[in-house]
Amino acid sequence: MAVALGCGIGLAWWMYDIGSQFAGFDRGATDRELVQLRDKVKQLEADNGRLRTVQVAADRHSLIDNAAQQDTERALKGLQDENAQLKEQLAFIRGVSSGERGGGVTVSRFKVEPGAAGVYRYQLLLVRAGQQDKVFQGRLQLVVTTQDGGKNVLRTFPADASAKGKFVVSVKSYQKLEGEFQVPPAAVVKSVEARVFGEGSSQPKLSKTFNLS
């Protein structure tokens, strides 16, 4: 580009020289015009440089804004998680510090979070209000409502009525139950109902539903 510009200016200069010899053109005026052209070229190059600087600054500002937004979202998520934990602790403290005796089991907190490949993680906090002499024994069952192939399908975990592993309920003051369940990757989980059964009972003592969509 610079070579072509230099050749063009040199050619113009030579043509003006020939013209001045045969037509009596003013060489001084021509020189002044060339100087003006060079000045305009320099001005345009300077303007382009300033525009590039502004563009780079704008791009950096955009990146900074995106980074700041991501930081804000992470901070907000952290505050929400902390707030949920504080609520959980408050419910627990209220339950175990109550002066009443023989309070029933309640669900203080229940949430379900989706993972990858149809895996979902659940957390359930059970609390018994007041002072307890006996331990509440039972089992947990999850009833998952999914949409699969355009139809609503109910899936239960565990599949049978036995209390196994993380589905065993044993509450004196409080109990935190957490684990995972998996549905087909193509299935969309609409809601999850947590049912708590007393030992030997076929009817749930309490239940709580978490809606995902």
Q: What pLDDT, in 10s, does the model give residues 107-117?
A: 888 999 999 98
pTM confidence score: 0.56
- Residue written as token pair 């089992």: 139
Residue 156's closest CA among 178, 121, 183? 183
Count CB atoms within 10 A of the CB of residue 98: 14
The dotted CATH code for 101-211 is: 2.60.40.10
- What does 183-201 look like in DSSP terms, one character per residue? --TT-EEEEEEEEEEETT-
- The predicted-structure confidence for 9-67, as pLDDT tens digits, reads as follows 444 444 445 444 444 445 565 556 656 666 666 676 777 777 777 767 766 666 667 76
For residues 87 and 110, the answer to whether their CB atoms sit within 8 Å is: no
Q: Which residues contact 104 (CB under 8 A, 6 or more apart)?
A: 128, 129, 205, 206
| Domain ranges within the chain, ordered by starting residue | 1-97, 101-211
